């Protein structure tokens, strides 16, 4: 009897203990009814810079842009959970609950659509810095180096960082004066250790190029006292230390946003990534660069399969597609799973993001760079950049060499900013096209390097040669449920031929639209509710000029 009683007590203690392990949940709302925010007053939730970016690209402000209803948030909080993040694009919030029994009260609220667990803190723990272990194992301090590479003509003293910019011919843009001025880059990562005091960022601080920071992992934390991965990433774009390291966009402005917890691997980090992208949108960022990737987690039930890496399914992937639809360009690393995986990580699989793989200084594929897919118009990775022995800054004020797609990605992102500075009227899709067309294997993409290594000097020519002028500026919303709208330049007139294809090339819809110059600027395609969810290709043709869009159909 005594033994049985002891066993029962241990069982009850164990049950109580497991219930007290705090976990996070994503609470999705059914609607935004009763919200105090209005599409007609976007200044209440978007900066003027964000509004101007949308206006310049003909992007409307829609219900998706409205913040979640604060009344709903307050009612959920009243159940006793702690609210961590709010996602307007996913119309929900991330909460932390100590006792899972409170979830029944949340589910009973009439405006709650679903409650999804997004952490598993009682599962196996990731090794600290585990996801970046390959990159950190390959890191080494700088060896003595020559200040200038013999036989080169440089307007700037790149020192050992010359190779990583010259491989993409990015120094040609710098020589023309395009160094990212006027562009805003949001860096989504795991922490930016000592960027506020590291001398390598002196010019960034002196010229007020760091516009702000935000931590979505620990809201009261300081991103400058967190992990150093984001600092190394940032250094390849933003440092301006002649003779040691000059980044690819040293005159751009930056938002430093922490969305990743290096000490664990949970799908909540993808939801953090989405709210980080939302913040980038709301403050008016032009470019998101993120050297984060998600595929496997501390608990296997969260894992993504390669079938999930289809361009539109996983949380961060969905967020990346929405981010591009708001007028931002995205450069995302594909991951370092080369040799043991056959797919890229999310969110680089997003159809509307540039996925960046890695090569060495001679342009050879880096064996660690994740491989992807070439399927018609769906190419992953899209591009490759130098990711072997890259020069980066360290939090201890030194410089060294590191390898990983984490560094290939921001090197490319900085040059995207320089190109966009030079050609400011481009839309993100036009920017992508110019870069892809300039790349080394544009005609024959493969699963290792995608379209290959960009030549940014050639991309500058493509972007200004008239071939980038397009009939259509945007198709939205993307993803869509039962209809979408196509917008076009007001000076376009005549007949437009519109065809919707499956990803395998089967035409499932064809229509002609007659457009008058100075007309309404849009037309709508309806009646698509019964279309199967998945990826589709929209082609709009006028007078022999075609533009293709990748569209995602989602279910109700």
State the DSSP string of 23-77: EEEEEEES--TT-S--TT-GGGTS-HHHHHHHHHHTPPP-GGGSPPPHHHHHHHH
**If we measure between CA atoms, which residue out of 556, 534, 535, 538 comes closest to residue 547?**
538
**Structural domain boundaries, residue 205:** 157-302+312-464
| 149: in domain | no
- The residues, any chain, with a CB within 8 Å of residue 16's CB and separated by 6 or more, are none
**If we measure between CA atoms, which residue out of 245, 191, 238, 249 comes closest to residue 210?**
238
Cα–Cα dist 137/129, whole Å: 11
Considering the domain architecture, whether residues 162 and 104 belong to the same structural domain is answered as no
pLDDT > 90 fraction of the chain, expressed in percent and rounded:
68
Give the per-residue pLDDT at 8: 39
Considering the domain architecture, whether residues 352 and 501 belong to the same structural domain is answered as no
Which tens digits make up the pLDDT trace of 180-217?
Answer: 999 999 999 999 999 999 999 999 999 999 999 999 99
Considering the domain architecture, whether residues 294 and 319 belong to the same structural domain is answered as yes
| 132: in domain | no
Considering the entire predicted model, what is its pTM? 0.86
Could you give the dihedral angle defined by the CA atoms of residues 46, 49, 50 and 53, in that order, rounded to the nearest 10 degrees? 150
Q: φ, ψ for residue 230 (rounded to 5)?
A: -60, -30
Burial of 30 (0-12, 13-18, 19+ CB in 10 A): middle
Cα–Cα dist 289/450, whole Å: 18
**Helix/strand/coil percent split, the chain, to 5:** 30, 25, 45
Burial letters for 405-418: b for 16+ Cβ neighbours within 10 Å, e otherwise?
A: bbbbbbbbbbbbbb
Crossing angle of helices 405-422/456-464, nearest 10°?
30
Burial letters for 185-214: b for 16+ Cβ neighbours within 10 Å, e otherwise?
A: bbbbbbbbbbbbebebbeebeeeebbbebb
| 445: in domain | yes
Q: What is the mean pLDDT of the chain?
A: 87
- If one compares 81 and 496, the residue with the highest pLDDT of the two is 81
- If one compares 329 and 511, the residue with the highest pLDDT of the two is 329
Name residue, tokens 């993120």.
Answer: 290
| 134: in domain | no
CATH number, position 513? 2.60.40.3080
Q: φ, ψ for residue 528 (rounded to 5)?
A: -110, 15
- The first and second tokens of residue 115, run together, are 């409650």
| 432: in domain | yes
Give the per-residue pLDDT at 520: 52
Give the per-residue pLDDT at 365: 97
Q: How confident is the model at residue 516 (pLDDT cuts 50, 70, 90)?
A: low
Lowest mean pLDDT segment, chosen from 100-114, 331-345, 379-393, 465-479: 465-479
Considering the domain architecture, whether residues 97 and 188 belong to the same structural domain is answered as no
Considering the domain architecture, whether residues 386 and 498 belong to the same structural domain is answered as no
CATH number, position 456? 3.40.50.200
Give the per-residue pLDDT at 132: 67
Which tens digits make up the pLDDT trace of 227-252?
Answer: 999 999 999 999 999 999 999 999 99
| 133: in domain | no
**pLDDT beyond 50 at 168:** yes
> Which of 464, 496, 528 is where one domain is finished?
464
Considering the domain architecture, whether residues 438 and 483 belong to the same structural domain is answered as no
Could you give the dihedral angle defined by the CA atoms of residues 399, 401, 406 and 407, in that order, rounded to the nearest 10 degrees? 80
Rounded to a whole number of angstroms, the distance between the first and last alpha carbons of the chain is 56
Which tens digits make up the pLDDT trace of 18-65?
Answer: 446 899 999 999 999 999 999 999 999 999 999 999 999 888 899 999
What's the domain count of the chain? Answer: 3
| 65: in domain | yes
Q: Is the preceding omega at residue 149 within 30 degrees of 0, hence cis?
A: no
**pLDDT beyond 60 at 103:** yes
Whether 312 and 535 have beta carbons less than 8 Å apart is answered as: yes
Give the per-residue pLDDT at 380: 96
Cα–Cα dist 36/552, whole Å: 30
Which tens digits make up the pLDDT trace of 290-304?
Answer: 999 999 999 999 999
Considering the domain architecture, whether residues 415 and 454 belong to the same structural domain is answered as yes
> Which of 91, 117, 143 is where one domain is finished?
117
- Edge to edge, what strands does the sheet with 522-525 contain? 472-476, 484-488, 522-525
| 150: in domain | no
> Which of 464, 497, 525 is where one domain is finished?
464
**pLDDT beyond 80 at 3:** no
CATH number, position 64? 3.30.70
Considering the domain architecture, whether residues 458 and 500 belong to the same structural domain is answered as no
Whether 82 and 25 have beta carbons less than 8 Å apart is answered as: no
Considering the domain architecture, whether residues 508 and 448 belong to the same structural domain is answered as no
Give the per-residue pLDDT at 473: 62
Considering the domain architecture, whether residues 546 and 456 belong to the same structural domain is answered as no
Considering the domain architecture, whether residues 218 and 181 belong to the same structural domain is answered as yes
Q: φ, ψ for residue 267 (rounded to 5)?
A: -70, -15
Mean pLDDT of 441-466: 91
Q: How confident is the model at residue 358 (pLDDT cuts 50, 70, 90)?
A: very high
Whether 460 and 478 have beta carbons less than 8 Å apart is answered as: no
Considering the domain architecture, whether residues 485 and 449 belong to the same structural domain is answered as no
Give the per-residue pLDDT at 138: 61
């Amino acid at each position: 009897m005594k033994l049985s009683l002891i066993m029962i007590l241990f069982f009850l203690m164990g049950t109580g203990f497991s219930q007290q392990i705090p976990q996070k949940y994503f609470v999705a709302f059914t609607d935004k009814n009763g919200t105090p925010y209005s599409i007609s007053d976007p200044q209440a939730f978007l900066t003027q810079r964000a509004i101007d970016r949308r206006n310049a690209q003909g992007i409307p402000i829609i219900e998706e842009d409205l913040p979640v209803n604060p009344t709903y948030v307050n009612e959920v909080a009243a159940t006793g959970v702690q609210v961590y993040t709010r996602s307007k694009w996913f119309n929900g919030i991330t909460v932390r609950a100590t006792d899972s029994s409170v979830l029944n009260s949340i589910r009973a609220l009439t405006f709650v659509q679903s409650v999804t667990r997004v952490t598993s803190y009682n599962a196996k723990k990731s090794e600290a810095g585990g996801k970046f272990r390959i990159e950190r194992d390959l890191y080494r301090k700088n060896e003595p180096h020559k200040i200038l590479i013999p036989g080169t003509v440089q307007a700037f003293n790149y020192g050992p960082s010359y190779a990583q910019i010259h491989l993409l011919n990015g120094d040609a843009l710098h020589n023309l004066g395009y160094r990212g001025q006027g562009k805003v880059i949001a860096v989504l990562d795991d922490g930016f250790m000592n960027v506020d005091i590291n001398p390598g960022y002196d010019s960034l601080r002196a010229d007020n190029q760091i516009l702000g920071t935000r931590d979505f992992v620990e809201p009261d934390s300081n991103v400058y006292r967190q992990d150093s991965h984001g600092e190394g990433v940032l250094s390849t774009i933003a440092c301006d230390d002649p003779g040691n390291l000059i980044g690819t966009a040293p005159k751009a402005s930056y938002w430093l946003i922490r969305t990743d917890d290096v000490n664990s691997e949970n799908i909540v980090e993808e939801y953090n990534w989405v709210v980080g992208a939302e913040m980038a949108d709301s403050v008016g960022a032009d470019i998101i660069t993120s050297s984060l990737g998600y595929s496997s987690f501390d608990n296997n039930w969260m894992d993504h399969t390669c079938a999930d890496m289809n361009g539109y399914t996983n949380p961060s992937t969905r967020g990346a597609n929405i981010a591009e639809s708001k007028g931002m360009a995205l450069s995302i690393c594909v991951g370092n799973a080369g040799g043991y995986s056959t797919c890229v990580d999310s969110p680089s699989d997003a159809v509307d993001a540039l996925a960046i793989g890695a090569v060495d200084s001679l342009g050879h594929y880096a064996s660690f760079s994740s491989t992807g897919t070439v399927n018609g118009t769906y190419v992953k990775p899209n591009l490759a950049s130098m990711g072997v022995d890259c020069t980066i800054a360290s939090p201890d004020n030194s410089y060294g060499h590191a390898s990983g797609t984490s560094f290939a990605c921001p090197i490319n992102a900085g040059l995207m900013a320089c190109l966009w500075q030079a050609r400011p009227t481009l839309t993100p899709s036009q920017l992508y096209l110019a870069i892809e067309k300039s790349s080394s294997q544009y005609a024959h993409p493969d699963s290792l390097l995608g379209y290959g290594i960009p030549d940014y000097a050639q991309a500058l020519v493509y972007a200004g040669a008239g071939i980038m002028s397009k009939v259509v500026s945007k198709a939205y919303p993307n993803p869509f449920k039962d209809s979408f709208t196509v917008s076009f330049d007001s000076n376009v007139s005549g007949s437009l031929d519109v065809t919707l294809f499956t990803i395998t090339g089967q035409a499932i819809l064809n229509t002609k639209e007659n457009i008058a110059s100075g007309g309404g600027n849009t037309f709508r395609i309806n009646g698509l509710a019964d279309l199967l969810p998945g990826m589709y290709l929209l082609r709009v043709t006028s007078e022999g000029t075609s533009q293709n869009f990748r569209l995602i159909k989602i279910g109700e």
